[in-house]
Amino acid sequence: MKILLIGINSKYIHPAVGIHQIVANSKFPVTFLEFSIKDNNENILAAMGKENFQVIGFSVYIWNIGKIKDIIKSYSRETIFILGGPEASYRPELLLFDRRVRFIIKNEGEEAYNELIEYLNNERDIKEVSNLYYLSQNKITYTFNRMPDLSKIRHDLGLIKDFKNRVFYLEASRGCPFYCSYCLSSLEKTVRFFNLEKVKEEIVFALDKKVRVLKFLDRTFNLRQTNMRKLLSFIRDHDNHLTTFQFEIVADLLEEETIELLQTIRRGQIRFEIGVQSTNEIVTKAVRRKQDFQKLKENVLRIKNNIIIHLDLIAGLPYEDRQSFIRTFNETFELFGDEIQLGFLKELQGTEISIHKDLHGYKFSLLPPYEVQSNSYLSKADLDEIKIVNSAVNKYYNSGDYPKTMEYLFQKLHLNPYFTFLKIGNFIGVSNLLKMQIDEISKALYKALKDEVSAELLYIIKQDYLLKPIKPKIWWERNISREERKNVYQEFLKTFPKLNSEILYRYSHLEKYENEYLLITYKPSALFILRV
């Protein structure tokens, strides 16, 4: 029996880890292929048709379900299709859209897949196949739940192949103890842990391959903090000064001993993804998410000098109206993490939000990724406004391109973050934010805010712009005469011994604000300030 497994990834950098796990633990010969969501369907179909595969399996996610359905409908040969992955796990009706879709493996599939192939080889009764949806007398039938024994699960880390350009995934545990009503992980009640020494061996493998980003798939990495501290200490002590480790954590649960350990780690080695979601206790209670935001805030402020901080919010949760979301955004933004992500609620089949969506007047898109369009608390116009803010945040804050400007606006002037980004986004336009070059986007930022803030703003924006590793286009009026420049250069030469005339006249740029001169040099790249 010839078997083909296909992973269609959201981006090339994200490998098809679900397919890798099935391949690594398969008892039977299997071929696997990886594509990205941008790959042409005809190319995927051609690859599927190169051999006479009797079984073809897809790993189905919210971002690729539409593409996979189109591919299956367009495939003309007789075959048995098997679906797995988080999106298929809670959409058993996918068995009905094409007669060749015969089976859906729910949740973890390493053991269930082998059992299913044994059934297809007439070596096992179908009722003995775990985690399986199938059609029986035209009715969708489910067998039974069984989670694999993690001590028997194998990781074939070499399947990623391109270690330099792809995210490297590891897992120290599976399952989630929390019950957040918007999340599929809330349905995986039992938490199990992989052998700690084996995880360390896998970390060493990744470090030897010089991977750039290593992301742990654990839903809550700090659930068992004795294990967490052992792994963090190991990572700290094996720093290759290249690899960044990413973890999802619950920040308000960090223990004192863990915080003290994190304060010993080199900045840039560890990145935490922290799901704040909302700072409104009524909202978090409604989605069954226990959170002490004050404790979360204290912990983030204590570790942010050492740890890269990524903060997540979700727009569209029950009871979170526009005013509440603005407060949530501002309170979270003012932690000044490295990134703040504004996500929009998705309807995930099987979650409590989906089951009881009528209680809160939810309208979700009928097409993937099934994003919220409105509810009883946020109109479509409200959500469109949040998307404008999101675009401006991504361009000017999350990009890291304007650190001095962001600090000036929000830590010196203390402008309202939400309304400032909304003003920027409305002035420039979302489509323009996506396509403008760095000189245009810098100029547009100044024009959007120049009426609200002092003339110093242009001087700050210039610093962020001129420090980019590009040849700058000067879009502002110069205010320094040739004679003044000559005199100031002499002062720079006296004050900064590293400078010389060649650097000043061939590889530098000079700006002035009040009694301060700013010198940017490009060979070498540096910034000098002279006050007179």
Q: What is the pLDDT of residue 453?
A: 79
State residue 169's pLDDT score: 97
Clarify whether residues 359 and 216 are in a common domain. Answer: yes
**pLDDT per position as a tens digit, 82-134:** 999 999 999 999 999 999 999 999 999 999 999 999 999 999 999 999 999 99
Q: With a cut of 80, say whether residue 373 has pLDDT above it.
A: yes
Residue in this structure with the two tokens 């942010």, named with its chain if needed = 304
Are 10 and 84 in a shared domain? yes
CA angle, 8 as apex, 273 and 32 as ends, to 5°?
A: 115
Instruction: Please state, in angstroms and rounded to a whole number, the distance separating the CA atoms of residues 231 and 220.
Output: 14
Domain assignment of residue 451, yes or no = yes
Last residue of a domain, one of 142, 157, 184: 142
| pLDDT confidence of residue 469 | 81
Q: How far apart are CA 149 and CA 190, in angstroms?
A: 12
Residue 189 confidence (pLDDT): 66
Lowest mean pLDDT, pick from 67-71, 336-340, 453-457: 453-457
Q: Which of the listed residues 440, 468, 496 is the one where a domain comes to its end?
A: 468
CA distances (Å), origin 26, targets 21, 401, 441: 8, 46, 51
Q: 37, 41, 77: which is closest to 60 by C-alpha? A: 37
Query: Are residues 455 and 501 both part of a single domain?
Result: no
| Candidate from 157-166, 247-256, 371-380, 521-530 with smallest mean pLDDT | 521-530
Same domain for 454 and 337, yes or no, is: no
> What is the CB neighbour count within 10 angstroms for residue 263?
12
Taking residues 418-439, what's their average pLDDT?
94
Please state, rounded to an integer, the average pLDDT across all residues of the chain. Answer: 96
| CA-to-CA dists, residue 165 to 9, 161, 308, 346, 440, angstroms | 14, 10, 20, 29, 30
Residue 351 and residue 212 share a domain: yes
User: Is residue 161 situated within a structural domain?
Assistant: no
Domain boundary, last residue among 378, 407, 426: 378
Amino acid at 56: I
Report yes or no on 311 lying in a domain: yes
Residues 52 and 174 in one domain: no
CA of residue 392 relative to chain centroid, distance: 17
- The set of long-range contacts for 38-43, using a CB threshold of 8 Å and a minimum separation of 24, is 39/8, 41/67, 41/70, 41/71, 41/74
Task: Please give the model's pTM, rounded to 2 decimal places.
Answer: 0.94
Q: What mean pLDDT is predicted for residues 368-375?
A: 96
Residue located via tokens 């742990």: 216
In this structure, the answer to whether residues 360 and 432 fall within a common structural domain is no
Q: Please check whether residue 152 lies inside any domain of the structure.
A: no
Sorted by sequence, the CB contacts under 8 Å of residue 14 that are 6+ apart come out as 166, 167
Percent of the chain with pLDDT over 90: 94
Structure tokens given for 372: 């919220």
Considering the domain architecture, whether residues 273 and 237 belong to the same structural domain is answered as: yes
Same domain assignment for residues 113 and 247: no
- Cis, peptide link before residue 469, omega less than 30° from 0: no
Q: Under a CB-based contact definition with an 8 Å cutoff, are residues 303 and 263 in contact?
A: yes
Q: Is the domain of 133 the same as that of 225?
A: no
Question: Which pLDDT belongs to residue 257?
Answer: 98
**432, exposed or middle or buried, with CB in 10 Å at 0-12, 13-18, 19+?**
middle
CB neighbour class for 6 (10 Å; exposed up to 12, middle 13-18, buried from 19): buried
Residue-wise pLDDT tens digits, 448-494? 999 877 789 999 999 999 998 887 899 998 889 999 999 999 999 99
> Can you give the pLDDT at residue 452?
79
pLDDT tens-digit profile of 279-333?
Answer: 999 999 999 999 999 999 999 999 999 999 999 999 999 999 999 999 999 999 9
pLDDT of residue 68: 98
**Residue 524 falls within a domain, yes or no?**
yes
CB burial readout 304-333, b (16+ within 10 A) else e: bebbbbbbbbbbbbbbbebebbbebbebbb
* 250 falls within a domain: yes
Look at residue 172 and tell me if it is in a domain: yes
Q: How many domains does the chain have?
A: 4
Clarify whether residues 125 and 212 are in a common domain. Answer: no
Q: What is the rounded CA–CA span in Å between residue 386 and residue 417?
A: 12
> How big is the CA angle at 295 (ends 290 and 299), to the nearest 5 degrees?
120
- Phi, psi dihedral angles at 337 (to 5 degrees): -70, 180
Residue 230: which CATH number? Answer: 3.80.30.20
Question: 459: which DSSP letter?
Answer: H
Range of the domain at 51: 3-142
3-state secondary structure 216-280: ECCCCCCCCHHHHHHHHHHHHHCCCCCCEEEEEECHHHCCHHHHHHHCCCCCCCEEEEEEEECCC
Tell whether 154 is covered by a domain.
Answer: no
Q: Is the pLDDT of residue 512 over 80?
A: yes
What is the Cβ-side half-sphere exposure of residue 135, based on CA atoms within 13 angstroms? 15
Task: Work out the widest C-alpha separation in the chain, in whole angstroms.
Answer: 92
Same domain, 421 and 337: no
Give, in order, the Cα–Cα distances in Å from 505 to each of 70, 149, 501, 525.
Answer: 61, 68, 6, 14
